A and B are shown apart, each in its own frame.
Chain A
Amino acid sequence: MSGRTLYDKLWDAHRVRQDADGTALIYIDRHLVHEVTSPQAFEGLRMAGRKPWRTRSILAVPDHNVPTTDRSAGIADPVSRLQVDTLDHNCADFGITEFAMDDPRQGIVHVIGPEQGATLPGMTVVCGDSHTSTHGAFGALAFGIGTSDVEHVLATQCLILRKSRTLQVCVEGELAEGVSAKDVVLAIIGRIGTAGGTGYSIEFSGSTIRGLSMEGRMTVCNMAIEAGARAGMVAVDDTTIDYLAGRPYAPQGELWQQATSAWAELHSDADAVFDKTVTLDGAAIRPQVTWGTSPEMVVPVDGRVPDPDEESDSVKREGMRRAMQYMDLKPGMPVTDIRPDHVFIGSCTNARIEDLRVAAAVIRGRRVAETIKQALVVPGSGLVKRQAEAEGLDRIFLAAGFEWREPGCSMCLAMNADRLQPGDRCASTSNRNFEGRQGQGGRTHLVSPAMAAEAALSGHFVNVSHSSE
Chain B
Amino acid sequence: MEKFNIVEGLAVPLDRPNVDTDAIIPKQFLKSIQRTGFGPNLFDEWRYLDQGEPGIDNSKRPLNPEFVLNAPRYQGARILLARENFGCGSSREHAVWALLDHGLRVVIAPSFADIFFNNCFKNGVLPIVLEAERVEQLFQATEATPGYALSVDLPSQLIRTPDQGEIAFEVDAFRKDCLVRGLDDIGLTLQHADAIRDFEHAHRQAAPWLFEKQD
* Chain A contact residues, CB within 8 Å of chain B: 13-14, 16-17, 19, 21-23, 25, 27, 29, 36-37, 39-40, 43, 48, 50, 53-54, 56-57, 64-65, 77, 79-80, 82-83, 86, 97, 120, 122-123, 128-130, 144-149, 151-152, 155-158, 160, 162, 194-195, 198-199, 225, 228-230, 248-249, 251-252, 255-256, 258-259, 262, 294, 315-316, 318-319, 322, 413-415, 422, 432, 434-437, 440
A294 vs B33: C-alpha distance when bound (angstroms): 29
Most buried by B among A97, A251, A262: A251
Contact indicator A259/B209 (Cβ below 8 Å):
yes
- A contact residues around B90 at 8 Å (CB): 129-130, 413, 432
Which one of B59-67, B81-89, B141-149, B159-167 is at the A interface? B81-89
In the complex, whether B28 has a CB less than 8 A from a CB of chain A is: yes
- Those 5 A-B pairs whose CB atoms lie nearest each other, nearest first: A56-B214, A148-B122, A251-B209, A146-B93, A39-B33
Asked if A79 meets B91 with Cβ closer than 8 Å, knowing A156-B186, A162-B172, the reply is no
- Which listed residue (A144, A145, A434) contacts B22, Cβ 8 A? A434
Contact indicator B209/A151 (Cβ below 8 Å):
no
- B contact residues around A322 at 8 Å (CB): 16
Asked if A148 meets B51 with Cβ closer than 8 Å, knowing A27-B203, A120-B210, A435-B22, the reply is no
Which residue on B lies nearest to A29, using beta carbons?
B210
A158 vs B192: C-alpha distance when bound (angstroms): 10
In the complex, whether B27 has a CB less than 8 A from a CB of chain A is: yes
A413 vs B188: C-alpha distance when bound (angstroms): 35
Shortest CB–CB separation between residue A366 and chain B, in angstroms?
A: 33
Contact indicator B119/A146 (Cβ below 8 Å):
yes
Contact indicator A144/B213 (Cβ below 8 Å):
no
Q: List 7 A-B contacts (CB under 8 A).
A: A43-B33, A130-B115, A148-B119, A151-B186, A230-B115, A252-B213, A440-B51
Shortest CB–CB separation between residue B80 and chain A, in angstroms?
A: 16
In the complex, whether B150 has a CB less than 8 A from a CB of chain A is: no
A422 vs B172: C-alpha distance when bound (angstroms): 42
Mask of B109-128 contacts with A, CB within 8 angstroms, 1/0: 00111110011001100000
Contact indicator A228/B85 (Cβ below 8 Å):
yes
Interface size class of B (residues with CB under 8 A): 35 or more
Among residues 185 to 214 in chain B, which have CB atoms less than 8 Å away from a CB atom of chain A? 185-186, 188-190, 192-193, 195-196, 199-200, 203, 206-214
Contact indicator B26/A19 (Cβ below 8 Å):
no
Contact indicator B113/A57 (Cβ below 8 Å):
no
- A contact residues around B199 at 8 Å (CB): 16-17, 27
Most buried by A among B33, B35, B199: B33
Which residue on B lies nearest to A296, using beta carbons?
B18
Asked if A97 meets B215 with Cβ closer than 8 Å, knowing A147-B93, A160-B185, the reply is yes
Shortest CB–CB separation between residue B215 and chain A, in angstroms?
A: 4
Shortest CB–CB separation between residue A337 and chain B, in angstroms?
A: 26
Mask of B20-54 contacts with A, CB within 8 angstroms, 1/0: 10110011101111110000000001000001001
A22 vs B172: C-alpha distance when bound (angstroms): 9
- A contact residues around B182 at 8 Å (CB): none
Shortest CB–CB separation between residue B208 and chain A, in angstroms?
A: 6
Contact indicator B209/A23 (Cβ below 8 Å):
no
Shortest CB–CB separation between residue A105 and chain B, in angstroms?
A: 12
- B contact residues around A195 at 8 Å (CB): 18, 84-85, 88, 111, 113
A48 vs B190: C-alpha distance when bound (angstroms): 12
Asked if A194 meets B85 with Cβ closer than 8 Å, knowing A21-B173, A155-B190, the reply is yes
A325 vs B90: C-alpha distance when bound (angstroms): 24
Which residue on B lies nearest to A249, using beta carbons?
B213
- B contact residues around A25 at 8 Å (CB): 189, 192, 195-196
In the complex, whether B17 has a CB less than 8 A from a CB of chain A is: yes
Contact indicator B45/A435 (Cβ below 8 Å):
yes
A415 vs B30: C-alpha distance when bound (angstroms): 8
Contact indicator B88/A436 (Cβ below 8 Å):
no
- Which listed residue (B23, B32, B93) contacts A434, Cβ 8 A? B23
